[in-house]
Structure formats: C-alpha cells, structure tokens
Structure 1
C-alpha cells in the first residue's frame, strides 16, 4: 500500500515504453505496405480554339506577343532543374557513403545503434528524394500547361494565316501573322526541350529513389538477421574441448580503428551542431553555477537551522555544476544526432564515464559509492571487450567474466537496498523504487546472459551484457540528469526566481512537484529511447506489437477499419486533452483572471467553460481518429437521447441546471447561501452538482437542479455584505441620547464595519429590567463571527468608561401577613415568631440571589 503511488509511476513508464515500441512496430509495418494510389482525375477535353477575326487581330496579336515574352521569364522563374540536379548529386554522394558504411559492417557484428542510424539516414534521404520528385512533378505540370496553351495559340494562328493569304487581307497583316506563328513554334521547341530535361531528371530521381529504397531494404534485412542471430547458437558449449578456440568462433568485438583524419573529418562535417552543443553546455554551466551560488547563500543564512529536504537534494545535484553541464551536453548528443559511427560512440563513452561518476556519486549514500566505482570499472571492461579484436575465444571468456560480475553486482545491490537504513519516505520514493526494480531486472538479464554464454549463444550474451551494464549506466545517467533538472526547478521556484508568475508564487509546492513529474517522465522516455537504441532484442516484440496494433478488429465501425492502434490513439488524445484542459484552467484561474477586474463568479464560469470546451474538442478529435462516419455517430447520439429521455431525466436536469448556474450566475463561487437548514459558502459549482461548505467544516453535495428549483437564500448575491444586530440593555435612569452616541461612535471606530450603509443605533423600548437598545451594522459575510464579538467588547468598555450600568434581571417580592381572625390567640406569639423567621429567610435568599447575579 505505501508504495502504490510509486509503483503506479513505474507501471505508467512501462506501459509508455511498451506502447512506444508497439507504435514503432506499427509504423514500420504500415511503412512496408504500399500507400493507396489516389485516383487519377478524369481527363478534360481541350476546348476548341476560337477563330481570330480581323476586328480583334491587333488585340490578339498583342496578347500572343505578351505570352511569348512571358514564356521565357516564366520558365526561368520556375526552373528547378539546376537545384534538383545539385540535390540529387548530394543524395547520390550520401547514399554511397551509407552503402560503404553498411558494407564495412559485413565483416563484424554491427551495433544496433549503427544500423538504427543507417536506417534513419536512409529514411531522411528517401524523404529528400521524394521532395525533389514532387518539385519536378510540379514543374512538369507548369510546363505542360504552358505547352498546352502554346499549342492552342499555334492552331489558332495557323488558321489565321490561311485566312490572311486571301487577296483582300493586307500584306502587313499576313506578315504579322507569319511572324507570330514563327515565334509560337520557337516557343514550342523551347518547351519541348525543357520538358525533355525534366523527364530525364525525373527518371534519374526515380533511379536515385530506387537505390535509396534498396539500401534501406538491405539495412532492414540486416536488422532482422541481427535479431535472428541473437536467438541462434554461434559457438559450442563451454564444456566442449574446442569451446574457446578462435577457429569459427563468433565475433563480438568491433575492430576500432580511430584515426586523426577521421576525427578531423567528423569535426568538419558536424561543426555547426558541435558549436550549438558547446553553446548549450556553456549556458547550462553558467545557469548551474548561478543556482549553486544562490542555494549556498540561502543555506549559509540559516546556519544552525535544520536542513530542508529540497535544499539538500538540490545541493547534492549542483555540487559539480560544470561536470553536470558536460553530462547534460553528452546526453543531448543523441537528440542532436551527432553521428553514430562506432568510433565516436566509444569515444563518447570514454568521456562520459568519469563525468557520470563525479556527478552521480554526490546523489547516493557514501556506502553506495564503491558500487559506482565497480559499475564504472565494469563499463570500462565492456568497452575493452568491444575493442578486442583477433582472438574470438578471449572475447567470449571476457564476456563470461563480465556477466558473472554483473550478476554479483546486481545481487549486492538488491541486498544493499534491502538492508540500507534510510527514512521511510526515501524508501517509498520514486528513485528508490526505480533503483530496486532495475536491480532485479538487471539480475534477470545478466543471469540469462551467463547461461547464454555457457551454452554458446554468444550474440545473446553480448546483448544481455549491453542491456545490463550499459543500460544501468544509461539509467543512472538519466537519473542524474533528472535530479539536476529537479534541483534547478526547485531552486527557481522556492527562491523566488519565477515570482513574476502569480501561479508559481501562490502554488510553489504544486509547481515544483508538477515540474518534477514532467522531468521524470521526460528522463524515463529518453532512457527508453536510449535503451532501445543500444539493444536489438526488442525488435521481435516491436514487430509483434506492431502487427497486433495494426490488425483490423472487424468491428465495422469505420469504412477503413478500426485497429488497436486507433483505440490507443483515441485514449491518448483523450488523456492529452484532459491534461491540457486542467493546465489551461490552472493558468486562467491562477495567472490571468486575477490580473483582470471581473465580477465575482465570472472567472470561474469562463474557466469551467474553457475546460469543457477543450475536453469536447479532444473528444471530437479522438472520434475522428477512429474514422467513424458521422451518420453512425448521429444514430448513437439519437439512441443516447432516447435513453436520456426515459432513464436519465434527473441527470440531464442537473447538467442543464449546471450550465444555467454558470451562465446566469444566481449562485456564484464563494457566495454565502442557505438551503433549508444548510448554511455555508459555495466552494464548487460542478457540471452535475455543487458543493457547499458549512461553517462546521462539512461539505454538502447539492444537485444543481435543487439549487434552481428550490428556495435558496443568497446572502451575497447583489453585494458582499451582511447585517448584524447587537442588542444592548442599559439600567433605568440613563440618558438614552448618550447611549445612542456611544454605540454609534464604537461602530464608526471599527475598521471592518461598512460606512455605507452607515451603522444605526436604535432605542427599542422599555424592558422589564433595562432600557433596550440595538446597534445595526453591515460588514463582509466572512467577518460575521469575529467583528460582532469585537464590537460587543468595545461597547462594554465604552459604557464602563462612561459610568453607565448594564443591569441584571431582578424581581420584587411582596410578603403579606395572615389576618388576625384566622389564627388562635394562644398560638399568635409562636405564629408571629415563625412568620418573622420565614420573612428573614426569604430576605436572606433574595440577598444571596442578587449577590450571585
């Protein structure tokens, strides 16, 4: 139970990883299927050219001259032949480079990331080639339109020339017609020549595209063969005599041949991106140094005060700012795609390992740092295994040792995490739970690798070693990146660096926690991407999930079919719209509306409508993803309407009433209302029901229909004010005018009593024991408890200073004696004595009563 939240985060991350793998596989499966060809438009019959009359001859001749002059300008304006030729030459060069890189991988086992990069480069080249083909198609269409227009003009002016040969036609007209016709024919030759160039270039572009697709298919085949080889035996079992011989053994090394020329060529090729990354590292370093200085100054001011958890965590992450900045820069290299040749990958690992150790060791307990040293040495051993060449048997032995050590390290980590003395909150925290889960997963993978090495599945063992060791280093590196990001966010939020935003200033804890979750989610996604990039075992799972997600469910809901992928996208869009609606509502409620002057209740109504509008738009977008026809949606809505009419009348009434409450606003948020015996403030107005918080702290859920149909007393509808009556009793004999003046003066002196309407003091009448007065004042409804108490105390002090007595209730008793004729004379003396004694007792009792009063 205490770890439910953290485990839910882990399940969300695992589900996101599986979903991303499945979607990637679905996209790859769909990419293999040819896209449907659009239907060609029906050919339009050319219009019959009109005859040229002698009356319009001059106008038509000028128009043709203008078109002839524009043909050359138009051709030069839209000419893309030279640009496309240069681009195709560049694509050819890059395709040759990719082909050479791919052929170089034939002699050794390629890294999964190497094949991934080749595949991505070929996809980019395919997209570039398609863009050039589209440009040529557009250009050819333009040339075809010009040629069609020119042919129509040739036909018209050929007929005009036949008519101009009549004796009645002037010679100048005949010559002018022949000149125009000659120009049109020259334009046709130029258009035909340019069209020929475009056709030849289109043919070359298609050939280039075929070459790119062929290379891409070869890379896909290599990726599949790499995956298939993982589950095939390459070497004999270790218990056989020739198990570790080099003859016929599988190669797991990469035969690195790093040279200065290759490094110089790489630096020249990636100069722009490297400069951008250097700028990013310098900027991050400067920000981290500033954050550490501010945090150090804050901690120094507290001196002997107790530590604050977020300060301690942030100080651990920011202890080495420049190393952290360099680690962040290296982590961003995968995003910038700074080249993925094996030499650069190994060089990156050599640089990143010390930075990773320096940064991450500050974030773990001191007892755990020895394990980090061991993990770093194990990573170094893995790089050595990757660099070993020549003796395949030695590689297998090193791989076996590496995996055995990894199993021992995973067992030690599991035991350490189980026995380490940490606070309960830390043990139930996100990072501790992630580390415990990964330790068990690493033990499982490393154990599989050890068994694979023993029985001869060398490639599977190599994948297991990469997943266990490099995966662990990558996981802890992204954990360090996330911790650094959380430190920067916490420092900015809690130290007022983001106080320009009111929503941050008023919700520091919520803002810091939300941004921390976003950073953790981003780090988890980047780790999943990196882990999938360095291993290839996930590809069968990805292909299986891709086929499953792309399979038609046969529900008949849409003409194109509905798949699991569509349902997955449907729920993703709904979730994104819900999150976006909450975020926009939060920004409107906490940041924008408080800066505007609006009536009470208007910001809440606008926020509510905006939230439901975003959710509704997301729902429509999600429905469109499923491809449901509108007529079927209408049928469903009609059936739903019938159901609503019969069984959901009260629910619809409450929902409609909720919209009426938000639009007409007879009851607004924070209004003081009374419904029957319920008195309290409105704390929420929902779409179906509203919440009233009583002054005892109870929350009463009231359906919106009852708020509109029932009798509701709203104390603050027109104005946030409430009248309070304070009764006062004064002793008889006091001047009423003096008392009225004192009461008015006391009310005017209180700052929370409204001046308009003005306080009113009244003399209400003569009571049994006092002169009865009333003080009537108006105040804010939230002050109706404390202000009357303060006024009562002030009135008592003022009357005491004026010497005015506040009486207590009293009664006069009249005792009557017994007539003399009713009592015998002999007993008279005794009776009188008893009567006097009783009278004295009553008198003492009355005296005691007055004293008690």
Structure 2
C-alpha cells in the first residue's frame, strides 16, 4: 500500500504540473465508480487532446507568420534596392535639390516602416522566447516524472498511463521544435530589418547634410528659366494646374492619403499625444489667466510696465505656442516632416501666425503709450504691415504647397509682393516726412541720423530682394525677406528683455538705497549677481536668436562652442576658453557667496555668542579665506591645472617671493598673525604715529583704520606687527584721561578740589570705579596747577573731556575761583633817558609845524 500511495502521489504531481488551470477530469465525488488511477489516466488523456489542438493551432500560426515573413522579405528586397539607389544618388554631386528631397522622403518612409516592423518583430520574439522557456520547463518536468515512474514500474500502473505520458512528451517536443523554427525565422527577419533601419538612419543624416549644402549653394545660383516665367502660356497653364490641385485637395482621396497617415501611423501614440495636448492646453490656459491678472495689476504696470507687456504678449499666445510645439514634436517623433508636405505646410503656417501675432500684440499694447504724432503713425502702420505680412505669407505658403517651387504663378506672386513692399515703403516715407516736419515731439527732429538710418535700411531690404528676384536669384530673395522678418521679431524680444532688465536694475538700486544698513551689502550683492547673470544670459540669447533667424545655427553656433572647447597650450599649460568662462563664473559666485556667508556667520551664528567684536571678525575673516581657498581649488580644477603644473607654478612663485613679491607675502603673513594672535582687532581704538582711529577691517595685505575725522588710513599689516602701535582698547575699553587746570594764587585750594570732584562725580560717563581723583600738581609761574583724573571709555573720552571743561568754567565762575592766566610785572629803575627822548620828539613836532 505504501508503494501504491507513493505511485499515486507521483502521478498526481505530474498531472497537476501538466494539466492547464481550469482543465480537470471528473473528481471522485462526480464519478464514484472510477478508481483514482483511472481518473488520472483520463485527465492525462484529456490533456493530450488539448495539447494536440494547441499544436495544430501553433502550426497554423507558424504558417501565417512564415507567409508574413515571406511577404516582408519581398518588401525587404524592395527597400534594400531603394536604399542602394538612394546611396548611389547621394554620391552624385550634380543631383538636383528636388530629387534629393524626394529621395529623402522615400528614405524617411523606409525608416518609419522599418522602425515599425522592428518593433513588431521584437515584441513577437519576446513572446516566443517566453513561451519557449515555459515549454522547456514543462518538458523537463515531464521527462523527470517519466524517469521516476519507470523506476517504480511493478505492474500496478494502469495500462497506457506511461505511454500517454510519452505521447505528451512527444507533443511538447514538436511544439518546442516549431517554436524554435519560428524564432529562428523571426530573428533572421529582425536582423534584416534592423540593417535596413541602420542604413536608412545613416542615409537620412547624409541626405540632410547634402540638402543643407545644396540649399546654401542654391541661394547664390542664378535660375536660367527667368524669361520663361514671363510667358503668358506658362502662366495660364500654372493657373490651371493650381486650380486642379486645389480641387484634388478638397477631395476625399487627399484627406485619406495625406492627412490620415499623420493621425494613423502613430496608433496609440496619437491618442497619448492628444490627451497630453488637451491637458497641457488646459494648464496653460489657467497659467495664462493667472499671469494676465498679475500683469494687469495697477502697481506693477506703473513700476514694471515693460515686464507686464512682455507677460501679456507671451502668455496671450500660449495656446498657439503649445499647439505649435505639440504638433512639431509629434511630427518630428514620427519623422513625418520630410515625408508629408502637408505637415511642413501646417508647421509653417503655425510659425507664421505665432510670429506675426507677437508683433501685432506688441504694437497694440503701445497704443496711447507713445508721445508724438510720428510715433503713433509708425505704430499704426507697422501693425497694419504686420497683418499684411501674415496674410500674404499664408497665401504664399499655400501656393508653394500646391505647386512646385519653379513655376510661373509663384514667381509672379513673389514679384508682385516685392513691388508692393517697395511701393508701400515709399508711401510711408512720404507720409512720415510730412508728419515729422510738423511734429515738435518727434525723435527724428532731435536725432535726424536715426531717420536716415531707417530710410537707408528700408531701401536696402526692399530693393535687394526685388533686384535678386529680377536677376534670377529667387531662393536668395525668399531667404532675404524671411531672414529680415525673423530678425524683426527677434529684435522685438531683445528690446523687451533690455527694457525689463533696465527696470529691474533701477528698482534694485532704489530699494537698496532705502534698505536697512545691515542688510544693504548682502542684498545688493545678491541682486547685483542676479542682474549681471541675467544681462549675460540676455546677451547670449540675443546672439543665438539672431544667428537662428539667419539659419546659421549649425554653421556658426556649433563652431562657436567648438572654439570654446578647443584646447590651447601656452607655456606648458593646456586650457580651454570655456574653462576660463567657468572660472570667471566661479569667481563671481564665490565673491557673492563669501559676502553672504560672512554676513550669516556675523549676524546669526555669532551675533548672540557673547564673543567680543574682534574675535567675531577674526572668525568671519578666516571663514572667508577658507571659502576662497576651496574656490581656488575649483578654479584650478576647471582650468585643468595638473600637479606638475602646480609644482612649476609654486616654483615660479618662490622665485617671485625672493625678488619682487616679498613685501606682499610679508603683509599677507602679518595679516594672518593679526588674525590669530589678535593684538589688534576690528573695533579697537589705536594710535599710529600720533593719529587716532578705529580699526575697521583687516584685509589680506593691509588694515583699514578710520580716524575721528572720517578719513580712512591704509596701514600695511607688516607695519602693525613690526612697529610700535598704541592700542587704547586692547583687552579693556576703559581709559584714564587727565584734565589740567590752573587757578590764581590766593584761591581756596580746598574749594577747588571739592569743585573738581563734584564735577567728576556728577558726569554720567565717568566711572565710579576706579574713582576720580584730584592732584595738586605744581606751583606754576602764574597759577596753582591742579589735575583732575577720570576713567571713561575710549570712544567717549573726547566728549567727556570737553563736557568737564565746560562745567569747570561754569562752576569756577559761580564760586569766584579765578582761572589764572600768564602775568608779567615790569619794574622801571630810572626814567632819565626817557625824559630826554620825549624832549627830542616834542622839539621835532614843533619844527614841523
């Protein structure tokens, strides 16, 4: 019985492992007449039937996949032939631009199709790999169970159970072989499609470069068919072609072949893009409303008018800008821009509408803001011109989309537009000339050179395009007008950025002037850095924008960055210009960060520490040195200075210290001594060569002492260390002052002493401990000399002496104490000679009478 239970358990485990979920034979309760082993045999038999059906389905699916792969193999050969022809075409220099663009469209379609096929085959290959792994696990499990049953075969097994398991094993092996064969075929096809994808990608890049070069070269190529454009027969024929093409564009086939592929080629990607587009547009609309309310605030419009105008212009166009970006991103991600002309037409129309809407909105916001009749005339007619450019350009794009570039109708339309532009400019000049002559507020009366510049460039722009068109350089004419149109839009934003930054700088200076004294320096530093960074960003953005406006982004911008990253070797040092830019940026940021960190330590970390002011300033200064030390390490790392270079640099520094830099190094070391030993600290009152002053700052090379006359004395640190300096507030801010006073002989000396003590004790700035004292110093030539000694602070010593002298004069006068002054007694021994002299003067006076 134990062997039977073991055998039953083994067969049950095999059945549970092999039978799919939900497929079971009848249980013992359902068929009580069957034994358990018979039930297991029936279950295995049913599993074999299910697996046979699955095997037939797998064979049918294999046939479908192989047939599909054979069909794809034919397509694959066609695509390879097309790519080979395109690669040969790309090697020919004389291929027309039109053929290159058609070839690029064809290769782009091949690239998209191969990408889709590669994705599908990869997904199918992953499914097959997962199923093969699962089947191999089941096959191994079945083989192990069969081997176990063989060992325990003793006649107790039902007849056919082991054979059924062997049949099941054969089915598994057949399925495994089919799956492996299918996987091999799919892998081979996948490698072929991946090769096509790689070749297409490489060829697309090569064709893009060739087309870009052709377009650059085409700008200065003269078209030989200029005379044929003027023939009436060709003009009428092009009109007929235009009408027929327009009629086709309104048909169902056009929308089925041109528009639907833009929406259907992406599959689920289209739905995802549409959902994301709707969500982003909703968010942008809410942001636009909030920012428009922000810009319409009366205070901001009064203090930041140009910022408010910029916000109104930009955020009013957010829905259109979002639509443009989403459309371009979707078309570019699907690589449909080169394949379908309708996608290029749609993107061009959206760009034209967006650029002209910015200009029109800008000119509309200037209504009522400009002074003078001339400015209002220019604003009104510039807005009208922008609207005309919008509609004329949209019509031109529509004709260009329907007709090939070299046709009579498109040439005639361009020629009419260029003539009209010249006539419109001449009309505006005549009207503006009359208005300027009578408008006293016109800027052109104060600056006539500005009017001449406008006239000159207006004629240059209009006449250059017209002459280029008439001479046959039609591509140059189109590029010329488009470049100047984009330049005007860029100039508008450059001007708005300039005006906004000027207003911010002005407001920052005004707010800093009225800010508290302890906050002015740090805030001014942060605002200064922010504004300077914005100015640099404005300059770079303006430069890049103008380059993009003239289609020089690849030819100039990348070369510019290439120059910045080009290594330069000078005297054994290798560095790049970009490293110098980064180093300057690090220096600027370190300067501002150092000020902010020092202020934070001084005001917050040490403000309530109880340490004296000199020690706090020493800690702050040393912290600043550490910040600059790490900044210098970063700068050296940015510049790419190696250890060998540093050794050479320090060797040169040692030679320099031995000759011309020893004084600077001496002052630097003396500054460190002052910071660590602290014989002189910030805030101390010192006397240097008879000059009194307060130590304001201890720098790297020198110390700043501010005298009582508010003059700043710059003293080298070495002088403060090596020479004699009197520090009146070292360790103790108290100082004793002596006030001498002389009284006349015969004065009551006790009253003088008591009066002086009374004056000292009544003064609020005189310390009671040590107490003041009065000394009878000497018997002078003209007075009795008394000395009043009082203790006070260094900062108040001069005020205390002055106030005590005022009080001495007042009380001595009230109490009858005479302040002595120098006296001389003259004793005349004989007047005989004087009498003779008087007689001589008297006789002389009588003689003159």
Using the size of structure 1 for normalisation, the TM-score is 0.56
**Larger mean Cα displacement after TM superposition, 319-328 or 698-707:** 319-328
Q: Which residue of 2 aligns with 1:18?
A: none
Deviation at 1:576, TM superposition (A): 0.6
Q: Find the partner of 1:474 among 490, 501, 504.
A: 490
1:387-434 alpha-carbon deviations (Å, 9 max, x no partner): 233323322442465478779999999x99xx99899xxx99xxxx99
Q: Say if 2:422 and 2:463, in contact at 8 Å, map to a contact too.
A: yes
Q: Which residue of 1 aligns with 2:540?
A: 525
Deviation at 1:582, TM superposition (A): 1.4
Q: In 1, Cα distance between the equivalents of 2:509 and 2:322? A: 28
SS of aligned partner of 2:783:
coil
SS of aligned partner of 2:393:
helix
Q: Say if 1:683 and 1:693, in contact at 8 Å, map to a contact too.
A: yes
Q: Which residue of 2 aligns with 1:763?
A: 775
SS of aligned partner of 2:777:
strand
The residue correspondences of 1:603-642 to structure 2 (distance < 5 A) are 605=618, 608-609=621-622, 613=626, 615-625=628-638, 627=640, 629-642=642-655
Deviation at 1:809, TM superposition (A): 0.7
Q: Say if 2:304 and 2:503, in contact at 8 Å, map to a contact too.
A: yes
Is 1:352 equivalent to 2:358 in the alignment?
Answer: yes
Is 1:668 equivalent to 2:681 in the alignment?
Answer: yes
Q: Which residue of 2 aligns with 1:687?
A: 700
Q: Say if 1:317 and 1:483, in contact at 8 Å, map to a contact too.
A: yes
Q: Say if 2:567 and 2:576, in contact at 8 Å, map to a contact too.
A: no
Structure with greater Cα Rg? 2
1:64-122 alpha-carbon deviations (Å, 9 max, x no partner): xxxxxxxxxxxxxxxxxxxxxxxxxxxxxxxxxxxxxxxxxx98999xxxx9xx9xxx9
Q: Which residue of 1 aligns with 2:843?
A: none
Is 1:587 equivalent to 2:602 in the alignment?
Answer: no
Q: Say if 1:446 and 1:464, in contact at 8 Å, map to a contact too.
A: no
The alignment yields a C-alpha RMSD, in angstroms, of 6.5
Higher RCO structure, 1 or 2 (CA under 8 Å, sep 6+): 1
Is 1:392 equivalent to 2:392 in the alignment?
Answer: no
The residue correspondences of 1:447-846 to structure 2 (distance < 5 A) are 452-453=468-469, 455-484=471-500, 487=503, 515-537=530-552, 539-542=554-557, 545=560, 557=572, 566-591=575-600, 593-595=602-604, 596-597=606-607, 599-601=612-614, 605=618, 608-609=621-622, 613=626, 615-625=628-638, 627=640, 629-645=642-658, 647-696=660-709, 698-720=711-733, 723-730=736-743, 732-733=747-748, 735-748=751-764, 753=765, 755=767, 760-766=772-778, 767=780, 768-781=782-795, 783=796, 785-786=798-799, 788-797=801-810, 802-811=814-823, 813=825, 815=827
SS of aligned partner of 1:776:
strand
Instruction: Give structure 2 stretches of 5+ with no counterpart.
Output: 1-96, 134-139, 152-168, 239-245, 264-269, 330-346, 400-409, 840-849
Deviation at 1:577, TM superposition (A): 1.1
Q: In 1, Cα distance between the equivalents of 2:686 and 2:234? A: 89
Q: In 2, Cα distance between the equivalents of 1:466 and 1:541? A: 19
SS of aligned partner of 2:576:
helix
Deviation at 1:475, TM superposition (A): 2.3
1:226-277 alpha-carbon deviations (Å, 9 max, x no partner): 433334445788999789997999xxxxx999x9999999875433443444
1:786-845 alpha-carbon deviations (Å, 9 max, x no partner): 554445445544555x535452415363646559xxx9xxx99x89x99xxxxxxxxxxx
Q: In 2, Cα distance between the equivalents of 1:495 and 1:536? A: 42
Deviation at 1:454, TM superposition (A): 5.5
Q: Find the partner of 2:219 among 227, 230, 235.
A: 230
Q: In 2, Cα distance between the equivalents of 1:543 and 1:325? A: 28
Q: In 2, Cα distance between the equivalents of 1:468 and 1:796? A: 87
Deviation at 1:515, TM superposition (A): 4.6
Q: Say if 2:743 and 2:817, in contact at 8 Å, map to a contact too.
A: yes
Q: In 1, Cα distance between the equivalents of 2:799 and 2:520? A: 29
Q: Say if 1:227 and 1:539, in contact at 8 Å, map to a contact too.
A: no
Q: Say if 2:306 and 2:499, in contact at 8 Å, map to a contact too.
A: yes
Q: Which residue of 1 aligns with 2:43?
A: none
Q: In 2, Cα distance between the equivalents of 1:658 and 1:200? A: 78
Q: In 2, Cα distance between the equivalents of 1:719 and 1:437? A: 73
Using the size of structure 2 for normalisation, the TM-score is 0.56
Q: Say if 1:654 and 1:689, in contact at 8 Å, map to a contact too.
A: yes
- In the superposition, relative to structure 1, how do residues 200 and 317 fare at CA in structure 2: closer, same or farther (>3 Å)? same
Deviation at 1:676, TM superposition (A): 3.2
Instruction: Give structure 1 stretches of 5+ with no counterpart.
Output: 1-105, 134-138, 148-153, 166-181, 250-254, 297-313, 835-853
The residue correspondences of 1:204-353 to structure 2 (distance < 5 A) are 214-234=203-223, 268-290=275-297, 292-293=298-299, 314=303, 316-317=305-306, 323=312, 326=315, 339=328, 341-353=347-359
Aligned residues: 626
Q: Say if 1:681 and 1:694, in contact at 8 Å, map to a contact too.
A: yes
- In the superposition, relative to structure 1, how do residues 728 and 322 fare at CA in structure 2: closer, same or farther (>3 Å)? same
- In the superposition, relative to structure 1, how do residues 293 and 573 fare at CA in structure 2: closer, same or farther (>3 Å)? closer
Q: Say if 2:705 and 2:713, in contact at 8 Å, map to a contact too.
A: yes
Deviation at 1:581, TM superposition (A): 1.2
SS of aligned partner of 2:775:
strand
SS of aligned partner of 1:680:
strand
Q: In 2, Cα distance between the equivalents of 1:490 and 1:392? A: 52
Deviation at 1:587, TM superposition (A): 1.6
Q: In 1, Cα distance between the equivalents of 2:280 and 2:595? A: 38
The residue correspondences of 1:47-58 to structure 2 (distance < 5 A) are none
